[in-house]
Structure 1
Amino acid sequence: MIQRVIQFWRAINAHLSGSDFDFINIYLNKKEQNLFFAMRLYDQRHVLNVAYTARRLAQKDGGSINEKLLMKACLLHDVGRTAEDIFLFDKVFAVLLDKYLPKTAHKLAKYNNSRNRSFWKKRRHALFIYYHHAAIGAEKLQKIKLYDIAEIIKYHHAPPKYGDCRELIILRKADSLN
């Protein structure tokens, strides 16, 4: 739970530096950046941290990886969570509910595409996004023809299985460390 407190602290203090913007420009084109910048600032900071960690892990690993694919996957792995869909306190609510009442959390999670949502409908929608952001992000990436990255993103919270590509394995590890 201490890691979650650290994550919360990082989220409320999130910012991007000039070198972060340079890094984003190296790996993401305009369409990809549109997806990236549709996330909340703390999610942008998180995916950048994941990318930096993944790069270090890949260098230590020494195995054969596609660096550009890995960096794009890291930077785009949470694009299923947009600024419109989930707020920081929604995320805190989702994490706590999932930890202490997971069955209830899954039952409450409900997609709602209406702009006019009541307080509780917004929380239920945020829970839905929390649980399904990987699939939602994969769909967004498929729409801009990033099929290989969509395939990685779709499974970044799935249990590991034999045959997972190295980029997915490294993304999962880097994500768990951030």
Structure 2
Amino acid sequence: MAAYHHIMAHFPIALLLLASLLLLLRALSNNPALAKLEKSTPILLIFGLLGGIAAILTGLMLWPHEAVLASPMAKNKILFATWTMIAWIGVAAVRLRAGEGIWETNLRWPLVILALLAAGMLSTTGALGGYLMGSPSDFSTLLKLLGWNVYQTFHAPGWALGVAVIAALLILLTGFMKKAR
């Protein structure tokens, strides 16, 4: 089962990171070639999200729940995987709802910021998976430099979670309102 989880985890990582790169490049440039390439992002986002959800499910089936709940690192992995999928759902919802017209407005910047945040969260989730498998990545070094001991349960204060939820809702609302016009 572990092999299935690895396959299910790495394909969505590639798809979602490519989508974030294309979104960033498209926001910075109106180059016709980039505009054509960026048209693939809705497909990348949809398949990346479906694969990410499958990766979460195979990961939950892989290890006994008692072991996962006893491990601070495994709890961090589940927490970040969930937050990551929520962030990518936000990116996909805004991009799909706003369509290609988003590139003609200033709404492209909140979308790109959310995509970059989601990409960072995805990288963190992957780094935690590497730790769990005994193979820390170079990204893990960055986490250490930022002061996060991944062997302890991550804690976010309630106010920080509230700000994150409000920011995500505002970004989504802005995208939906813009599409309605």
TM-score by length of 2: 0.28
TM-score (norm 1): 0.29
Larger radius of gyration: 2
Instruction: Give 1 or 2: higher helix fraction.
Output: 2
